[in-house]
């Protein structure tokens, strides 16, 4: 335990990589709504609890899991068409997004990181990530955007975050990842990074530290990360 405390205090955070859906904006509700519409069109329902297990999961993999939940089999060609249909519905929902949908505290926190010279990246499974960042007006904060079109392996594989760290020129041990999905937390930890879970402790227990959101949080959180990880584990 003391070794861990010592190691944590030695570490310097040089970059932060943010997940998008559920961390910067609450798009999880739009994904849920579009998937539910698709499930209903196929004759079965899809619950919010089931949706929880799909957070951080790519579009095609999510579809596969939903079809399994509904006991429905589809050919590869049909699955591609169904995923496109879901995405069209999702795009209709996010079309109206603007800066009012940025989650509380995010923008001041990004400003704080910039002021301290900490690099900022995005690591999202979503192929719509660049569109969403544009819609809410946050694109210019991000030095690199690794989205679902740049990866071949989904979370919990660390690829998305490792590519982000590489693009930022920062070693994984100096990177702090913010994630709301258990699979994303696993990905960050598998990549050798620190991870703050955004949500509930019971769900995100594998993160180094968990907080409900960014409201009132500033870069002083780095101090807290060092001490909390050392004393809690």
Binding site for ligand BG6 (CB under 6 A): 20-21, 31, 54-59, 62, 87, 124-128, 148, 181
Provide, rounded to whole angstroms, the least separation between the CB of residue 162 and ligand BG6.
17
The entry of Mg ion, ligand BG6, none near residue 127 (CB within 5 to 8 angstroms by kind) is ligand BG6
Residues touching Mg ion, count (CB under 5 A): 5
Residue 208 contacts Mg ion per CB under 5 A: no
Cβ proximity to ligand BG6: between 58 and 226 the closer is 58
* CB closer to ligand BG6 out of 45 and 223: 45
**19 is known as an active-site residue:** yes
Total number of residues shown for the chain? 233
3-state SS of the chain: helix, strand, coil percent to 5?
Answer: 50, 10, 40
Interface residue with Mg ion among 27, 82, 102, 180 (CB under 5 A) is 180
DSSP 164-220: HHHHHT--GGGEEEEESSHHHHHHHHHTT-EEEEES-TTT-TTSSEEES-STT--TT
21 as an active site residue: the answer is yes
- Out of Mg ion, ligand BG6, none, which partner does residue 180 contact, by CB within 5 to 8 A per kind? Mg ion
List the one residue from 13, 17, 18, 19 that touches Mg ion (CB under 5 A). 19
Q: Under a CB-based contact definition with an 8 Å cutoff, are residues 142 and 120 in contact?
A: yes
Strand order across the 194-198 sheet: 144-146, 119-123, 15-18, 175-179, 194-198, 209-211
Chain positions contacting Mg ion, by CB under 5 A: 19, 21-22, 180-181
Q: Which residues are catalytic?
A: 19, 21
């Amino acid at each position: 335990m003391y070794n861990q405390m010592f190691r944590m205090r030695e570490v310097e955070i040089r970059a932060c990589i943010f997940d998008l859906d559920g961390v910067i904006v609450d798009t999880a509700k739009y994904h849920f709504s579009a998937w539910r519409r698709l499930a209903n069109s196929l004759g079965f329902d899809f619950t919010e609890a089931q949706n929880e297990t799909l957070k951080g999961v790519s579009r095609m993999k999510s579809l596969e899991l939903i079809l399994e939940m509904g006991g429905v089999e589809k050919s590869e060609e049909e699955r591609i068409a169904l995923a496109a249909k879901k995405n069209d519905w999702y795009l209709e929902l996010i079309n109206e997004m603007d800066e009012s949908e940025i989650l509380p505290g995010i923008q001041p926190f990004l400003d704080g990181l910039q002021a301290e010279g900490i690099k900022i990246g995005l690591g999202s499974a979503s192929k719509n990530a660049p569109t969403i960042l544009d819609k809410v007006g946050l694109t210019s904060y991000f030095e690199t955007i690794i989205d679902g079109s740049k990866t071949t392996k989904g979370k919990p594989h660390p690829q998305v975050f490792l590519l982000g760290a590489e693009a930022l020129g920062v070693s994984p041990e100096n990177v702090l990842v913010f994630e709301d999905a258990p699979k994303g937390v696993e990905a960050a930890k598998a990549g050798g990074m620190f991870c703050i879970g955004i949500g509930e402790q019971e769900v995100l227990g594998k993160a180094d530290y968990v907080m409900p959101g960014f409201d009132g949080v500033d870069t002083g959180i780095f101090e807290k990360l060092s001490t909390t990880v050392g004393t809690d584990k």
